[in-house]
A and B are shown apart, each in its own frame.
Chain A
Amino acid sequence: MNATTNQATSIKLVLLGESAVGKSSIVLRFVSNDFAENKEPTIGAAFLTQRVTLPDDTIIKFEIWDTAGQERFASLAPMYYRNAQAAVVVYDLTSPQSFLKARHWVKLLREQSGNNIIIALVANKLDLCEEQAQPETEQEETEPRGNVRKVAKEEGQKLADDEGLMFFETSAKTGEGINNVFLSIAEKIPLKKKGNEQESATFNGNGQSENSTSSNGRIDLNARNGSSEACGC
């Protein structure tokens, strides 16, 4: 483990978007620099974490929440986006339907969280898009190629401008633009000054308090069997 002297600031980041737009693939690319065709949904992970170090040595630790089995029938629990400091709203630039859905999520996030939440709008599957095509000769797709883009970059950009979102076009498959999404979010996180952290942890991340009752009366239930997991993070 790195001897990091700087304290990492934990950020809850939620992924939103229609099924199969590539939410999990984006995270997998970011967290493991990997891509899996026909990826199965993650089983058993409460959330994935990844650290980002900013130029000024600030460390941001993303706790990335995947929708798990609650998105297929549009049954996300409010708990999912509660207290999220950042959200990545993903659509598939070959699917106008998924862009509509993205609008819906942006609206809902603004209703629930006001303007405090940092939202990145991400148009994924840039690799399917001809105009972007680098001489890409790897494998033949079975699907017909050609310009399959159905949502113009300008449309995405306009939604982002109207709603005050960051906007990116990415490919989880090639990795294009992915790290940039998370780095840009990290840079926008309003950092608390040192020694002014009392309200920083808005949800019960592990290891946030040394004793079982913190000053604001919140309680860490795990503290009693102290051995359970001191979690090496």
Chain B
Amino acid sequence: MDEEYDVIVLGTGLTECILSGILSVEGKKVLHIDKQDFYGGESASLNLTQMYNKFKPSALSGADGKLPEAFGRDRDWNIDLIPKFLMANGELTNILVHTDVTRYVEFKQISGSYVYNKNGKIYKVPSNEMEAISSPLLGLFEKRRVKSFLEWVSKYKDDDLSTHKGLDLDKNTMDEVYYKFGLGKSTQDFIGHAMALWTTDEYLQQPARPTFERILLYSQSVARYGKSPYLYPLYGLGELPQGFARLSAIYGGTYMLNAPIKEVLYNEDKTFKGVITKEGTARAPIVIADPSYFPDKVKSTGKKVIRAICILNHPVPSTGNVDSLQIIIPQNQVGRKNDIYVAVVSDSHHVAAKGHYLAIVSTVIETDKPHIELDAAFKLLGPIEERFMGISELYEPLEDGTKDHIYISKSYDASSHFESMTDDVKDIYFRIMGKPLVLKPREDSQNDGN
């Protein structure tokens, strides 16, 4: 091939696939390439053979390449490399609905959201005033204070001073807001970490608005379907990039997997010109890529995430045998700076063979013995059948891409949801198009033969 495109996209991670889909719908001619032979990059879901090949290549070769019998059929497994859930009221849900990618992906609720307490027990996270009142997590007096805080959040209106109770979201820090409502340290932990989903305590000294908005997102997401604020796609998160790739493809996007980049071509002014793959040369004025395609144009954020993917043959203890849940272990409760997250899904989401559960434990590394940092979480899981551990360094682009027309996404962070990923999508879109992303419902997306 020797072809011209409007945009070349490298890597089929979720960020890249959403952009590819949106740009194709807008009429851009897109060539989408992945060096690997499967969709999803870092946001793929893998089968067991792929998991062993990636994390424990020797384990399979010792057994004639056969999977452990207890794990059933390979194709029943769709194991996420990165644990995340969708906020029911979050931006990714919004994008899915507006692009009609909901046609290809089916979702289930995550059954519960739990938070860990010093005493070693886990509690369901109260999501509104009523649940706060009945939660065993809080003492009697604290319940009333939490109730009054959550009422303030739900009633606060920017243009109505009487709802502000003397607080200013942009001037007061979150620490000051907690003080005003008399909320103690452990209550702050569950509000800031299990509802606002901050992973560190840095937010305490920042203006209260972002925390306020996160708590609102959490409670509105719970209010949408009940149980928990989270949704999860059947067959694993890897369905999401595939869904957006299909969107791109039906709007004319061309897909090329298993095609390592032999060479990146540049114009004389060092702007992007094209790429050479085994299929030949493709040119475009713009390239979008994940960090792995331009290692010399990204820098480490200094953060590394450890993720332990655990296979269980039983539900997580003390959760009422739910099929899925999140557990947040706030940093303070275990003497850390970063929270530990546990995301659990199971065969009911078509990600594991019958009777099996997947628990992904993750945190930002703080010591030189990262696997020990996850111990508090492992203790909550009960017996573990198999464990795959990996450490990812988080990267971000050195430049914004406007100079060389190379737009690079950020690595998927340690957060439990996709909100920072969709921020990145919108940010890259803005840098490329010079205007904000406005989602319009798709028209004539289906001919209906009747």
Contacts and interface: CB of A to CB of B under 8 A. Distances in A.
B108 interface: yes
Contact of B441 (A77, A220, A228): A228
B242 A69 contact: no
Interface residues of A, number: 48
Interface string A204-233: 111000001100011111101100100111
B108 A221 contact: no
Interface string A50-87: 11000000000000001111101111011110100000
A180 interface: no
B106 interface: yes
Nearest to A47: B446
Nearest to B259: A73
Given A73-B259, A233-B448, A221 B246 contact: no
A72 B254 contact: yes
B11 interface: no
Nearest to B239: A79
Contacts of A74: 257
Contacts of A231: 446, 448
A218 B107 contact: yes
A204 B255 contact: no
Contacts of B218: none
Contacts of A112: 75
A213 B97 contact: no
A213 B107 CA distance: 10
B249 A68 contact: yes
A75 B257 contact: yes
Contacts of A41: 252
Contacts of B235: 79, 82
Given A79-B243, A204-B104, A224-B224, A49 B254 contact: no
Interface string B283-311: 00000000000000000000000000000
A224 B98 CA distance: 12
A151 interface: no
A183 to B, nearest CB: 15
A49 B255 contact: no
Contacts of B224: 224
Nearest to A220: B102
A72 B448 CA distance: 26
B445 A222 contact: no
B225 A79 contact: no
B251 A43 contact: yes
B109 A219 contact: yes
Given A69-B255, A218-B106, A49 B93 contact: no
A196 B162 CA distance: 55
A24 to B, nearest CB: 12
Contact of A68 (B250, B441, B450): B250
Given A44-B250, A221-B97, A228-B97, A204 B105 contact: yes
B444 interface: yes
Which of B109, B253, B441, B449 has the most C-beta atoms of chain A within 10 angstroms of its own C-beta?
B449
Interface in B305-325: none
B448 A46 contact: no
Contacts of B225: 212-213, 219
Contacts of A6: none
Contact of A2 (B243, B442, B450): B450
Nearest to B75: A112
Nearest to B100: A46
Which of A82, A220, A222 has the most C-beta atoms of chain B within 10 angstroms of its own C-beta?
A82
Contacts of B447: 31, 45, 48-49
Contacts of A72: 254-256
Contacts of A75: 255-258
A111 interface: yes
B106 A44 contact: no
B271 to A, nearest CB: 26
Interface of B: 39, 75, 93, 96-97, 100, 102-109, 224-226, 231, 234-235, 239, 242-243, 245-246, 248-259, 279, 348, 441-442, 444-450
